[in-house]
Amino acid sequence: MQEHALACFLMLYELVSLIELTQSCRGESRLSLYAYGSSLFPLLPVVRTPRRSLTPVHPGNMSSTKINRRSQRAAVATAAVGVAATAALLAPGATVGFAAAPASLRTVAASTQGLAMGPSAAVAAPVVADAGSMAAMSAGIAGAALAAGAFSRSQAVKRQGKAKAVQLAAVRESVVNDTATAVETECINAIRFLAVDAINKSNSGHPGAPMGQAPIGYLLFAEEMNYNPEDSKWANRDRFVLSSGHGCMLQYSLLHLAGYKSVSIDDIKQFRQWGSKTPGHPENFETDGIEVTTGPLGMGISNAVGLAAAEAHLAAVYNKPGMPLIDHYCYTIAGDGCMQEGITHESASLAGHLGLGKLIAFYDDNGITIDGHTDLSFTEDVGKRFEAYGWQVLTVLDGNTDVAGLRDAIKQAKACTDKPTLIKVKTIIGYGSPNKADTHDIHGAALGKDEAAATRGQLGWKHGEFEVPQQAYDVFRGHAAKGASKQAEWNKMWAEYQQKEPELAAQFKRACMDRKLPDGWADSLPKLTPEDKGKATRLHSQDCINALANVLPEFMGGSADLAPSNMTLMKCTGNFLKGSYAERNFRFGIREFGMAAMCNAMSLDKTGIIPYCATFTIFSDYMRSAIRMAALSQAGTIFVTTHDSIAVGEDGPTHQPIETIPSLRMIPDLTVMRPADGNETAGAYKYAVERSKNESRPTFMAFSRQALPNLPNSSIENTFKGAYAVIECADPEVILIGTGSEVHVCVNAAKEGLAGKKVRVVSMPSWEVFRAQPASYKDALLPKNVPTLSVEAAVTMGWGEWAGAFVGIDCFGASAPGQTCLDNFGFTSANVASCAIRCIAGERGALSNGSQGKH
């Protein structure tokens, strides 16, 4: 009798597979199929074609044929007869022993019954876990045969079934071993419904991703990760980055369940509300337990690469036999959108090249974006792409319920120590929602009251809104307690380490734990006089980088394949490469965007690293989003750029930054510095290092390609004022303000073209630093009643804050020698003097905007 019942369930599988081919019930049927498919036929994928038809690939011959919509409808109409007959198998009072059948199989049965009787019945249908009488069984099998015949006549699919013995064995195994235990399912559903309820309450958010990613989150926060909610800055904690940051209710739910005080149930209820700790995307500065701010897709996985690189470096520097001071993993979840962004290519390619084996990325492969199914725009094989990068690639076909499969994949990932791992997890967006799962409708909109209720019924969740069973709290917080115990063990090892490795321990404590700068570190920076030979500020930058490298072991970075031009190579250390992680020179390759995101994460790692990254000033546009995110997320990244104006020369306007520096000044909390000589360069580095280490804030520096003289009155101390008088005079008739390479043009204009005039020349290396000075200092330096002329080889936008008249370039540059460009666009002492006289006479606005240089 039981064998017949098992055969009926095999028949049921065939019917559900058939129904899955339809457009109308695609989401619901996939819910049902995947609920037990991983244990029954784990090799059964469903491949969508760009025409939106579905192609089943069956075990056995693995052959496939497209199904057109008409044949789908004909086949399913006939199949309904078989489904209706099969429903009799679900009648109460049956006697065959299926009471122990797993919930996944019962879900399939109920869903099939509901589909036979109508869409609403798919949710409300009674679930009975027994087989019916032999007569009902025979009717069901006959119906299935009828359906199969119609399906065959449609000529849509040809397939070969697996051997009956193999099928029966698979079903027996699924009956005995459910995909997830009851406790696991309860914990996973707790995550899902915290997300559903919070998003419903705010009527804003993205429920689909948290509902699909919940099993991954459960495994990480309830089993795999080492963390301590009481000390989120523990140096050896595992790191987690949600690259698909729109699904942040996943992370907030996990932090709450794990016991982080930063996310209470009241905070969950205030999701996306003013002043809450649960904003619309993860923000590390708002919510304790969040490593980095994510939201722009692809940024997070690039941050994760940076965190993994930091781990590799610190482990190589500090670990000793028997004392693995740094030995943690970085986990990240990324979605289809992340995989489409170019920054993911940049950072993932570098991660594979570097062999960052402590990086484990989950690809939430749900096939849905805002526009609809990814068939519309994204059909590449992501796994093969990552294999080409040098990653280990694993696949879990059922990420919705196959907790064991996910657990095994993580185990395999950890076993691979010389490659990062990508785990492709096939999920259903909005898993559990009867009417919205597997559609773009659930990506960025609340389920609503009715659909939330239906989802509760679908997943058997009997708890009210924001109600979490104590058992779920116990599981997560029990694991968090284990993390606290592991930190206690780490503390014992740290005590032993201090005894056995006193010098390294002292360095680790200062740089990584206390995150302080060593005494006297700034004394290493060069100090120059006007008599010293002038040179390009990029060369002064090189001197500063190497001076700092000798006294700050936490200072590390590199260039996007421009080290010989940016002058950013540290001479006291080697290249950070696979097998030489203790070195500090990063070879980022031509990956500006990925480079910047990695450096942001290294700063936010909370281990005291001071990262810098370099490129040409114009190519900072390639990393603009990461620069903005550095400011927003309070990352202490130092952005070093060279070739800062039209003085670049022959490379022409494609390489000549015109609007770059002025536009960067608009980013809140970003300090932009354009030094004019060696002392200002040293001052800029002192400021940037202190701002990075002490405040965790970013600094952007722009240096010249051409040689510049050392200025009178320049110093590190004056640089810290943001602006100061290079040439002073009492009661000036006119004030000339310059930045960078234009300051010496102002000096020459004052000495030559404005002889006999009372002229004050001001160098303004940083608007932001000057803006922060006391009003008394600012008013004394730039009195409002004195005509003031700004001179900068950039667009004149914004200068009205400091001056009434401007010399700038409000047009693109040209290809010619650098000095020729400067002369023709008006950056000469003669033109500046002429404009200053006009300014004294009362003229205002852009007195020279570069238009005279266009040809």
705 is in an annotated binding site: yes
* CA quadruple 631, 633, 638, 639: dihedral sign: negative
Do the annotations mark residue 296 as ligand-binding? yes
Using CA atoms, how far residue 438 sits from 31, 365, 367, 378, 631, in Å, is 9, 11, 8, 16, 36
Structure tokens at 570: 């540290």
Rg over alpha carbons for the chain, rounded to the nearest Å, is 33
371 belongs to an annotated ligand binding site: no
Residues 612 and 600: their CA atoms lie apart, in Å, by: 9
3-state helix, strand, coil in the chain (%, to 5): 50, 10, 40
Please, is 95 exposed, middle or buried when counting C-beta atoms within 10 Å of its C-beta (0-12, 13-18, 19+)?
Answer: exposed
Element (H, E) at 146: helix 134-153
Is 246 a known ligand-binding residue? yes
Report which secondary-structure segment, H or E, holds 353. Answer: helix 342-354
674 is annotated as contributing to ligand binding: no
443 is in an annotated binding site: yes
> Cβ(497)–Cβ(323) under 8 Å?
yes
Question: How many Å apart are CA 433 and CA 123, to the nearest integer?
Answer: 10
Q: Which residues pair with 331 in a beta bridge?
A: 240, 360
By the 8 A CB rule, do 560 and 587 touch? no
565 is in an annotated binding site: yes
Q: Within a 13 Å sphere around the CA of 487, how many CA atoms are in the beta-carbon half?
A: 20
Distance CA 325, CA 494 (A): 7
8 A C-beta contact, residue 497 and residue 325: yes
To the question of whether residue 459 is assigned a binding role by annotation, the answer is: no
From CA 588, how far away is CA 353, in angstroms rounded?
10
Q: Which helix (H) or strand (E) holds 93?
A: none
Asked if 476 and 257 count as a contact pair (C-beta separation under 8 A), the reply is yes
Written as six digits, the tokens of 28 are 């619901």
Flag whether 10 is marked binding.
no
State both tokens at 203.
């009527």
C-alpha span between 293 and 630 (Å, rounded): 9
| 801 among known catalytic residues | no
366 is in an annotated binding site: yes
**Is residue 584 marked as binding?**
no
Compute how many other C-beta atoms are within 10 angstroms of the C-beta atom of residue 56. Answer: 19
Task: Given the residues 186, 592, 690, 792, select the one marked as catalytic.
Answer: 592
How far is the C-alpha of 644 from the C-alpha of 615, rounded, in Å?
Answer: 10
- 510 in a labelled binding site: no
State yes or no: 643 annotated in a binding site: yes
* Residue recorded with tokens 């370099």: 614
- Among residues 793, 246, 342, 767, the alpha carbon closest in space to that of 596 is found at 342
Q: Residue 373 to residues 365, 429, 537, 677: CA-CA distances in angstroms?
A: 11, 11, 51, 55
How far is 189 from 158, CA to CA, in rounded Å?
38
User: Strand locations in 27-154, DSSP E?
Assistant: 46-48, 54-56
> Binding residue per annotation — 540?
no
281 is in an annotated binding site: no
Query: Across the strands, what pairs with 610?
Result: 555
Integer angstrom CA distances of residue 834 from 319, 745, 806, 829, 838: 64, 13, 12, 9, 7
Location of structure tokens 């240089």: 853
Q: How far apart are CA 584 and CA 607, in angstroms?
A: 15
Residue 807: what are its φ and ψ, rounded to 5°? -115, 120
Interatomic CA distance for residues 451 and 122, integer angstroms? 13
**If you count them, how many residues does the chain have?**
855
Residue 285's CB: how many other CB atoms inside 10 A?
A: 13
Task: Report the binding-site residues for Mg(2+).
Answer: 336, 366, 368
Task: Report the binding-site residues for substrate.
Answer: 206, 443, 538, 565, 643, 651, 655, 705
Task: Report the binding-site residues for thiamine diphosphate.
Answer: 246, 295-297, 337, 366, 443, 619
Task: Report the binding-site residues.
Answer: 206, 246, 295-297, 336-337, 366, 368, 443, 538, 565, 619, 643, 651, 655, 705
The residues assigned a catalytic role are: 592
